[in-house]
Structure formats: C-alpha cells, structure tokens
Structure 1
Amino acid sequence: MRSMNSIKLVETLVFLRVHWHYQTITVPPQYFFCKCCFHICVFQDVLRNILDLNESVIQNEEFVLCVSGGKLFPGSIPLAHRYGGHQFGYWAGQLGDGRAHFLGEYTNRKGERWELQLKGSGKTPYSRSGDGRAVIRSSVREFLCSEAMHFLGVPTSRALSLVVSEEPVWRDLFYNGNVIKERGAVVLRLARSWFRIGSLEILTRTGELDVLRTLLDFIIEEYFKSIAMNDPDKYVVFFSRVVNETAHLIAHWMSVGFAHGVCNTDNFSLLSITIDYGPFGFMESYDPNFVPNTSDDEGRYSIGAQANVGLFNLQKLLELMEDTGADFTMTFRQLSEVTMSQLQTGSIPPSMWALSDLLSHEYFRDWVQLYLKRLMESDSDAARQHRMQGVNPRYVLRNWMAESAIRKAEKNDFSEVALLQKTLTEPFVEQEEAERAGYSSKPPSWAQQLRVSCSS
C-alpha cells in the first residue's frame, strides 16, 4: 500500500506527513489488567514527571492503543523526518525515519517541551525495503537502557512504554541468511528534539541551502536560545556549542563504560543526547578495543575510539585492568566501597571480586601506593566513599542481563524486565532484589558468548 504524504513544517524535504493505517499492533483484552503485565511495561517516572499522568492511565484502553500505535493521540499529526548520514565512514545517502513516527510535542507543567515518537510502529516513506517494525529484543534493550542512562546521569532520550505483540516479525539476526520469526514490539520514546547531524547533512549534500538555513535558524531559535538570532556568527557559535556538548556526552559515555555501537552521523543528536539505542554495550572486562556491534568488523566504533583522554593515575589503573581483564564497572564501584585500611593491608574481601582480580598484577601495589597518597590529601575515608558511590554505579544494563530478561519476555514472563526497570532507576544504590539476581556479581560464563547486531 502506498503512503500518502503532505508537506509539514519547513519545506518539503524535512518532514513528511504520514498516512496512518492503524495496523501496527493488535491489542488483545489481556493488556488491560496491570502496570507491568505480560504485554505492556511503563516507566512511571516518565509517566508522572514528564507527561503529568497518573499511573491509573495504564488501565485505560485508549492509552494502550495510543502507545502501541493502534490509535493517534488527540490532535496528533504523524510525521516522518528525512535525514541522511555517514555510516561507517561512508556517505549513505537519504535515510530518514524508516520505522519511527513523530507524534507531536507535549509541554508539561514544568514548562519542559518533549517530542513523542513511536518506534516500530510501521512503514513510512523512508522505510526503503524494511517493514517498519521492531522486534522484542531490540525494543526491550532500548526501553531499559534509555532509562538506565538517565539515572546514571547521562544525557539521553527517554522511554515511556513498551508494548509487545503476538504478531510475527521476520529478521536475519546476523545477516547470514538465517531468517527467523520473532515477536514485534513498539516503544514510545521521548526527547527534547530528534534532530541529528544527518538532518543537516542531507540538505548540504543535495544543495538545498535555503532549506538548510531555514532549518538551522529554526533549531537555533528553538533549542539554543542563548544564541542571538541577529548574531552574524550565530552558525559558528552553534557549531562550537554542538562540538563542546558532544565532547561532554562522550565523556559521560566513557565514565560508565558505554559503547554506542553505531556512531554514525544519523545517530548523533544535535542536542548532544544519547539516541538510537541499537547494538550498544556496557564494557565488562576492560578492553579499549571493545566493540559491541558484530556488524562493525573493523572496530571503527570501539569504545576506545569514542574518546582518548585520561589522567596519569587513571591510565595506570586502566593498564592494570586491561592486563587482568578486570571488570570496568565493578572495579570503580568496589574502589568506592573498599576502605583505606583494606587497601593498605591488601586484605580485599572475596565479595569485592573485581578488585580481587587486580591483586595478582605485578604493578597493583605500586598503583595502590599512588592512589593512597592521593586519598590522604582529601577528606575522610567515609566522605570519600560516599562521594565515589554517588558517581560509580553498582548496576548497569549488561548484555547478559538484558538477554536474560528478553528470553523470559519472549515467553510472556516480564518479571525480569520489571526487576530491571526498578533496579536501573537507582543504579548507585545497593538493592536486595538486584543482589539476589546477581546483577553486581561476576558475569556468568555464557555472557562472553553473547553478540548483538544492527538487526532489530
């Protein structure tokens, strides 16, 4: 069926109005019986603090239809955004929202403006040969990780809801000709803006310079209000802001061991927030060449390529961690929990398994002496521990945790998705249920065999 499009916002080739077919997901009656049931999950923080809604709305049939793509929100005009991008270093031409529908903007009681978008909600004029759908595994990962990153303090898009369908979606997971049937899903995600670097690239490439200037002026006026529109250097100032804020974003990524996986220009936000969660990964054993994406054969987007900064002591620590395969997240977390006395005597308790892995390294004692010297220059040990525990998470969304939740969700058991929802909203706080689930323990041996790809 051909889509019917019309002009929206700036010129003809930035946004297209999409004819809505109301056929994304068939919503059965069993959706409507609990907050996190077999088919729908909702993050209450987004519901309450961004959309000003009470959790009772989850029981409302119209709400579920809207967040699943079965019905439009009142006043919504679905749009698809056209953009281009460099993918793995090469110009990929016109891309665009191939399975995402921009629903509109909501201004909440705090005056914040949020753009709502459905992902996995069906075809658009930019779907190319795709079906416009998303599968449960990629949708669970984006749903959980976008909120996990928010509570880690990393600038990010947000996720309101995940609705899982019984309808089949066919995917070649590793692009090897092995097509399998998977379950479809829809995520309602939010951001201050969905404009990307590729939003501007496509207009430059096609010579649409008048449209480019119009779009740039719109973006600056709407999202960079501190830049004066009558400033003759406004575009230079805008560029400088994007460069600086993107550098800060990547520093945030590095601080929590996050590798995006597909750092293409169409996946990089002009507002310097993390968007488009695909084959991402949180580094476990320290490896500067860590690549979460199996499609990245040359390691172009390895975590080490995201940034190349570090202080002397930190670099020395990372060298030890690389040699011993120490866990990235838990090494720093356990450094925030260990006492100076334990470091001085080398009496690291077995429960601090990540630090224990470092004990055998020949340079560990030398590094500890440097570290202790630095600690003695600061405040009390308790204050140091408290401060460090506020920035070094105990829990991140490791691939094995997401995979465990996905396997259960595929069997209509969303209990682990719910547990991860709860755990990842307080990543710096030790939680009894999360500890029982092993979320701060040494990863299971099978975790090393996990692979993720762009297939979703």
Structure 2
Amino acid sequence: MLETKNGTLSINYLCLFKFNTMKLHIKNNFATELPADPSLENIPRQVEQACFSYVAPVKPSNPELIHASVEVANTIGLKEEDIASTAFLNMFSGTTIYPETKPYALCYAGHQFGNWAGQLGDGRAINLTEVLHNNESFTLQLKGAGPTPYSRNADGFAVLRSSIREYLCAEAMHYLGVPTTRSLSLMLSGDPVLRDVLYNGNPAYEKGAIVARVAPSFIRFGSFEIFAAREDHENLKLLADFTIKHHFPNIHEEGSQKYVAFFEEVTQTTLKMIVEWQRVGFVHGVMNTDNMSIHGITIDYGPYGWLEDYNSGWTPNTTDRQHKRYRFGNQPEIALWNLYQLANALYPLIQEAKPLETILDAFSTDYEKEYLNMMKNKLGFQIKKEQDIILIQSLTQLLENVETDMTIFFRNLSNITKADATTTAFNSIKEAFYNENDLKGTIMKDWHDWLEKYTIRINEETLLDAERKEQMNLVNPKYVLRNYMAQLCIDDADKGDYGLINELYEMLKKPYDEQPNFQKWFAKRPDWARDKVGCSMLSCSS
C-alpha cells in the first residue's frame, strides 16, 4: 500500500522504478493465510502462536554478484538478461524489497542430535516471497541476509566459504537427480563476518556472502513440532491445512484421513530422497528434524560431504565426531526416527496412532526394497535374481575392508565385460583403491572371488556390454562435489578468483557424462586433502 507520510510514497515509487525491468508473478499465500508474529521487534525471543515473523534483510554495504543460475532464474520466471540487472542484484542481496512483498522468517522447532531443542526458526534465512511460474509455486529465500527473532546468539549472516558450498552443492545434487532446494545466486555482501571456524577460541573476520535459495516451500518437520509441543492445536491445524491445500493438491481425503495421507506422502518422498543420497554417496551431516523438508527434498547444506572411500561409519560433521549419529550408513534409520517425530506432531490432528504406526512400520521394508533396486541398477542388473542381495551385501563388506573410492569404483565397474577373466575385471576397478599394497592375502582373494561371481552374473543379463555400461553410467556419476574441490573454490574465491566456481558449476551440470575436458576431477582425494580443514570433516560454523 502506498502512503504519503514519512516519505513512504517516494520510497515505494523508487522500488517500483528499480524493479520495472524484472517481472515476477508474486503470490503471498503463506504470509496471507497463516498467522504472523504481531511483534515487529527484531531481537532474539520466543515467538508464540505464529508461523512466521516479518523481518527485513540487512542492506549489504557493497553487494557483488559472483555467480547465478540461468536455469533457476528461468524456473521462477526471470530471463537471462535479468541476472545482469541492478534490480536482480538489489533484490537477491537484500538491498531492496520487491514491490508488494514483505519478507519474513519461519518459526519452527526441532530435535537436534536426538534431543529436543525447542524453538529454532530461520536464524539466518529470510523468505522474500512466493512466486508462481508455469503453474508451479516457489519460495525465494536469502540465506545470510541478517538477524531474525530466531537468531538466538548468532548474527544471522553467512560467510563466503559456507555459501560457496551451499550454492554449488544444491545445484550439484539437482543434476545428480537428487531432490533438493535450488540455488539462484551467490553474492558477496561487502561486509566482514566474525567466525570461529574450528570452535577453538580463535575467531577471525571472513568475507560475508548471501545465497538465494529456491524451493516449493521451506516448511519443515519442525514447523509442525513447535505447535504440537506447545499444544497449539489450532495453529497446527492451520499449518497442516495450508500445506495440504497448496503443496499436496492430490490429497482429497477429508477429516483426519487427509493428515494421514499427508504423512504417508511425506514418508514416501523422504524415503526416496534417502535412497538417492545412498546411491551417490552423499552424507547430509545434520539430519535434525528442523533440517527435514516436508517435500522430501534436501535442505540446509552445512557440514555435508560425499564419501571418498566407502565407509558406512563416516560423518562429515565435527560436532558428530564422537557418536556418529548422522553417519552415512545410519541415514535411513535417522530418516525413520525423524518421521516418528513428525508423526507425534501430527497425532493431535488424527487422534489415532494405528494409521501412523502402519505407515512407519512399512518404512524399513519399503526402504530395503528400494535400496536393493537401486544397488542392482548400480551393478547393471535388470533381471531379478534371488542371489543378488547376497552379492550386494558381500560387495559392501569388501568395499569397507580397504580404502576404496566409491565414485570411481562404481563408475569403472561398468568397464567390465562378460568375457573378462577375473584379472582383467580387477584391472578395470583397481584405480579405485587408495593403496594397492593393502590388497594382500585373503582380501585380494575375496575380491577375485567376488569379481568371478559378478562376471557370471552379468552373463545372465540380456543386454550387450555396451548397453549395460550405458545404463550403469546413468546411475553411477563420474563427477561429484568432493569436499577438497569445494575447498579449492573457497581458497581461490578468498583471493577474488571465481573461475573455479564457474568451472566446477559447469562440470557438475553433467555429472554422468564423460566430459574429457574435466577428466582431472575424476580422481581420488589427494593426500594433502586427507586431514585439511574443509576437505574432510567440517564444523557447523558459517
């Protein structure tokens, strides 16, 4: 609304002028239909009976666009030329607010590392608005744009290193075929941010940065948990009804059954997301319930990582070093644990445990079935054979016996042909081992035994070798965003060189293609990166 007092008219007129070349189809459903925090005071506090708090981004002193995704821009209704505009820079740095919008931060709670943490909320994320394009709705969000009422003891900003990792990873996951939020832009704020990267009492100033993220919504498991924990069933129902109405329009059940149907859909999409994580060797690192999307998409890229060597016990999170709750091999179990918490949150709307228990009880069986199908695809098996599960189990045990690069192993496995002798087959995969000297005695014998069984098994397939290789290469990526690669980008970016960000971005858009010009990135983690900060485990510092 335009007002004349205090110069508001001229300010809004200026906003309209700045944005008249960049058109978005604005939809403010979330902020219009759900209860807002009545207080506009932007200080850390408990927010009651509200789904969100209005809060404006902090204007950066000298914003600079580092990189932007043309594809994501097109997805939300922008053109390539919009990216180069002042309007784009202003909006997605938080400098100027788009007309007819009011940015806000979400209120939610969560379980962190298995413990109830109470109110959490968007501590360094600010939702700009919702947009509609091609009959799809998207929420636009800035990460690192300043404090909110949910920032607790933090400042709400983000640093360049974590922003680069978030920006690249979301896009890498998308092109790998893993459900995820998307990255629209990466910008410098021009303002220094104080961080203690190692949590060792030695904070230092780093470059501040802002990532623009895009998702159907940023509603999380914790969005429902907070209302259930506070016994605010009225707002719990409002949020559930809103979510189903706008994001699950295929649900037509009435009464309590629609919430059961909602939970079942969230369970299934979450399951499929975890299977995709396991397929490509991705470890989230912080699977708290506040980091779980109700859309079954990967959100909140903090201390994530891809398996270098196949190690089911590996976690990228230094905070999780001792108990390894969020280790690679435990991700399916954690997903189920988190779904139990969502079920508890939705129970007040259903008032019956049995339908929720039925859905949860089926999770493990459904997961094992989907996991088996996924692994069979990775191994090039199309014909069903009962012994496949034994062959898969023995392989995962073998991969853990000595340090074996997961990505290289599965990619090169497709080079084995039906006519290969065991020694020839071994030569196809030996590049994946970090130290061939470890392959002695019974370990080498076990590998030869497995490869003999594998060649026998692929001879039972009807596909020709070239056809099987093509199918395997569609599910076994050649290129993933290894932590050391992201760290090299960060090191260059700290010096003002963003060339490597663009190089890796282009490579990661086609992770299943051979891309011979990027062959140098199809390599095991270098020795220098084994224990280097940012290349192995990471902290939550951002």
TM-score, normalising length from structure 2?
0.77
Give the conservation status (yes or no) of the 8 Å contact 1:14–1:83. Answer: no
Q: Equivalent residues in 2 for 1:298-309 (5 A)?
A: 298-307=323-332, 309=368
Match of 2:77 among 33, 49, 52: 52
Q: CA deviation at 1:370?
A: 1.8
Q: CA deviation at 1:351?
A: 8.8
Q: CA deviation at 1:364?
A: 0.9
Q: CA deviation at 1:442?
A: 2.0
Q: CA deviation at 1:231?
A: 4.8
C-alpha separation between the residues in 1 aligned to 2:307 and 2:72? 27
Tell me whether 1:142 sits opposite 2:152 in the alignment: no
Tell me whether 1:454 sits opposite 2:540 in the alignment: yes
Tell me whether 1:255 sits opposite 2:279 in the alignment: yes
C-alpha separation between the residues in 2 aligned to 1:151 and 1:136? 23
Give the conservation status (yes or no) of the 8 Å contact 2:170–2:182. Answer: yes
Q: Which ranges in structure 2 are unaligned for 5 or more consecutive residues? A: 1-30, 37-48, 334-367, 373-388
Tell me whether 1:74 sits opposite 2:102 in the alignment: no
C-alpha separation between the residues in 1 aligned to 2:255 and 2:464? 49
C-alpha separation between the residues in 1 aligned to 2:465 and 2:439? 21
Tell me whether 1:241 sits opposite 2:265 in the alignment: yes
Q: Equivalent residues in 2 for 1:26-425 (5 A)?
A: 26-27=62-63, 31=64, 39-48=65-74, 50-108=75-133, 110-296=134-320, 297-307=322-332, 309=368, 311-342=389-420, 344-346=422-424, 353-354=431-432, 357=436, 361-378=444-461, 379-425=463-509
Q: CA deviation at 1:73?
A: 2.2
C-alpha separation between the residues in 2 aligned to 1:292 and 1:355? 21
Q: Name the SS for the 1:168 alignment partner.
A: strand
C-alpha separation between the residues in 2 aligned to 1:19 and 1:193? 18
Q: Name the SS for the 1:56 alignment partner.
A: helix
Task: Please tell me the residue identity of whatever aligns with 2:121.
Answer: G
Give the conservation status (yes or no) of the 8 Å contact 2:53–2:107. Answer: no
C-alpha separation between the residues in 1 aligned to 2:416 and 2:87? 51
Q: CA deviation at 1:348?
A: 5.1
Q: Name the SS for the 2:395 alignment partner.
A: helix
Task: Please tell me the residue identity of whatever aligns with 1:331.
Answer: F
Give the conservation status (yes or no) of the 8 Å contact 2:412–2:428. Answer: no
Q: CA deviation at 1:54?
A: 2.4
- Alignment partner, residue 45 of structure 2: none
**What's the % identity of the aligned pairs?**
42
Give the conservation status (yes or no) of the 8 Å contact 1:152–1:393. Answer: yes
C-alpha separation between the residues in 2 aligned to 1:20 and 1:197? 25
Q: Name the SS for the 1:405 alignment partner.
A: helix
Task: Please tell me the residue identity of whatever aligns with 1:454.
Answer: C
C-alpha separation between the residues in 2 aligned to 1:219 and 1:148? 28
C-alpha separation between the residues in 2 aligned to 1:52 and 1:191? 14
Task: Please tell me the residue identity of whatever aligns with 2:331.
Answer: Q
C-alpha separation between the residues in 2 aligned to 1:175 and 1:382? 51
C-alpha separation between the residues in 1 aligned to 2:301 and 2:278? 16
Task: Please tell me the residue identity of whatever aligns with 1:412.
Answer: G
Q: CA deviation at 1:446?
A: 1.6
The answer to which of 302-311 and 171-180 deviates more is 302-311
Give the conservation status (yes or no) of the 8 Å contact 1:259–1:292. Answer: yes
Q: Deviations over 1:246-305 (max 9, x none)?
A: 111111101111110000000001111000010001011111100100011310100111
TM-score, normalising length from structure 1?
0.91
C-alpha separation between the residues in 2 aligned to 1:355 and 1:371? 18
C-alpha separation between the residues in 1 aligned to 2:439 and 2:424? 8
Give the conservation status (yes or no) of the 8 Å contact 2:60–2:190. Answer: no
Give the conservation status (yes or no) of the 8 Å contact 2:59–2:93. Answer: no
C-alpha separation between the residues in 2 aligned to 1:250 and 1:25? 40
Q: CA deviation at 1:312?
A: 2.1
Which structure is larger by alpha-carbon Rg, 1 or 2?
2
Higher relative helix content = 2
Q: Name the SS for the 1:129 alignment partner.
A: coil
Q: Equivalent residues in 2 for 1:432-443 (5 A)?
A: 432-435=516-519, 438-443=520-525
Task: Please tell me the residue identity of whatever aligns with 1:425.
Answer: K
- How many residues are matched? 436
Relative to structure 1, the CA distance from residue 17 to residue 202 in structure 2 (aligned partners, 3 Å threshold; closer, same or farther) is closer
C-alpha separation between the residues in 1 aligned to 2:179 and 2:77? 21
Q: CA deviation at 1:207?
A: 0.9
C-alpha separation between the residues in 1 aligned to 2:416 and 2:304? 30
Q: Deviations over 1:403-455 (max 9, x none)?
A: 001100111100110011101110001223321xx211121102211331111
C-alpha separation between the residues in 2 aligned to 1:138 and 1:340? 45
Give the conservation status (yes or no) of the 8 Å contact 1:8–1:17. Answer: no
Q: CA deviation at 1:147?
A: 0.6
C-alpha separation between the residues in 2 aligned to 1:93 and 1:57? 41
Relative to structure 1, the CA distance from residue 279 to residue 272 in structure 2 (aligned partners, 3 Å threshold; closer, same or farther) is same
C-alpha separation between the residues in 2 aligned to 1:423 and 1:342? 32
C-alpha separation between the residues in 1 aligned to 2:490 and 2:272? 32
C-alpha separation between the residues in 2 aligned to 1:8 and 1:394? 45
Q: Name the SS for the 2:59 alignment partner.
A: coil
Match of 1:426 among 510, 513, 525: 510
Relative to structure 1, the CA distance from residue 404 to residue 97 in structure 2 (aligned partners, 3 Å threshold; closer, same or farther) is same
C-alpha separation between the residues in 1 aligned to 2:515 and 2:433? 21
Q: CA deviation at 1:76?
A: 2.2
Q: Deviations over 1:365-403 (max 9, x none)?
A: 111122112211211111000000111000011000000
C-alpha separation between the residues in 1 aligned to 2:245 and 2:473? 39
Task: Please tell me the residue identity of whatever aligns with 2:517.
Answer: E
Q: CA deviation at 1:51?
A: 2.2
Relative to structure 1, the CA distance from residue 347 to residue 226 in structure 2 (aligned partners, 3 Å threshold; closer, same or farther) is closer
Task: Please tell me the residue identity of whatever aligns with 2:83.
Answer: I
C-alpha separation between the residues in 1 aligned to 2:159 and 2:310? 30
Give the conservation status (yes or no) of the 8 Å contact 1:57–1:63. Answer: yes
Task: Please tell me the residue identity of whatever aligns with 2:525.
Answer: P
The answer to which of 335-344 and 171-180 deviates more is 335-344
Q: Name the SS for the 1:413 alignment partner.
A: coil
Q: Name the SS for the 1:408 alignment partner.
A: helix
The answer to which of 338-347 and 288-297 deviates more is 338-347
C-alpha separation between the residues in 1 aligned to 2:58 and 2:253? 41
Relative to structure 1, the CA distance from residue 117 to residue 335 in structure 2 (aligned partners, 3 Å threshold; closer, same or farther) is same
The answer to which of 66-75 and 84-93 deviates more is 66-75
C-alpha separation between the residues in 1 aligned to 2:211 and 2:150? 19
- Alignment partner, residue 26 of structure 2: none
C-alpha separation between the residues in 2 aligned to 1:233 and 1:124? 36
